[in-house]
Structures are given as structure tokens and as C-alpha cells.
Amino acid sequence: MEMQVLNIPVAEILNMLIMLLGVAIVIIAAISYHKRSSIRMQAAHQKIDELSQRMAEQEKALLRQQHLYDLDKRLTTIRTQHPTPEKTWTNYRSMLQDIDNQLNNWMALFESRTQLAEREVQFCTYLLVYPHLTLDEIAQHICYSEKSIRNYKQRIAHKLGVSSADLHEHLQNDMLSYLYNDTINPKK
């Protein structure tokens, strides 16, 4: 077998190699650009996800503020009807009825659900409706000594599974959850 030698000028071979090298560089550049674009796109999507999450959190916080405002209006209505805590049980029962009318029977449900004693429910009621009162002032209205009222608050908080310092916030959150359940936690 004979081998044929191709007579291709060296210049043509070099031109073809340069052309192939150019095509290879263009392909490598395109791949590199695509990878960088892909990385940029991933970073942009991550940023969009973070912003969406932040917006959702801010929306939820704004909704909570609106609910707190509405709740405060309802409690102000109750304070207008009952400017000071009721000292007699008959008057207190009337106040509870007014509270339930404003708060869609939250008090009745709270009372049955928590298994708190009647005086403990009364303390929680005064804590919610009259947040400006000190513990000593509440103690006077439910006929407890100033010394025992702090222990009383701790005992109620313990029964509800929260700290004494968080009792008011817990009661408020429970009330908000009950009143605005559809908007805070939409039912599926």
C-alpha cells in the first residue's frame, strides 16, 4: 500500500488551525458566559425569594398591627362602658357579657378552655381590659393582698404555660388568634 502525501500548503493548515482555535475560543467564551449568567440568574432568583419572604413578613406584621388596632378599639369601647373594674360579682358578670359581645364570646371560650378558677379569669380580664392598672390596683379590685397578687399572677401564668412577664402578651395573642383566625392562619 502506498501512502499518499497531501500537498496542502502550510499556510492553509495554519489558517484552518487558527480558525478552529477561534471557534474553540468562541465556544469556551459562550459556555463561560452561560455559566456566569446562570450563576447571576440563581443569585437574582435568590434575591427575589428573599425580598418576597421579607414582604410577606412585613405584610403579616402590618396585618397584626391592624388587628391590634381593632382589638384596642374594642377594648376601649369596653373601658368606656366600664371605666373601672367591677367590685361586685353581679357587675362583673355584666362586664363579662359586654366583653363577650365585643369579642365574639372569647371570654366564655377562654373560661371553659383554660380551666382557670373564676377569680383567675377575673384577674386575666382586668389585666387585658385595664392594662394601665398596676398589679396592686388589680389586687384591690379582686380583694387580694398586695403581697399575694404577684404569686397569684405567677400561678395563673404557670397554669397557662407561659412566664409571668409574658402573661398579658399571651392573653392578647390568644384573643387575636381567636378573633382573626381566618386572616392570621387561613383555613385550607
Provide the whole-model pTM: 0.65
* Residue 187 confidence (pLDDT): 38
Q: Is 47 exposed, middle or buried (0-12, 13-18, 19+ CB in 10 A)?
A: exposed
* Residue 26 confidence (pLDDT): 85
- Residues of the chain under the 50 pLDDT cut: 183-188
Give domain limits for the chain: 62-184
- Using CA atoms, how far residue 37 sits from 23, 32, 132, in Å, is 21, 8, 59
Note the pLDDT tens digit of each residue in 64-90.
888 889 988 988 998 898 888 877 777
Rounded Cα gap, residues 90 and 129, in angstroms: 18
* Residue 97 confidence (pLDDT): 87
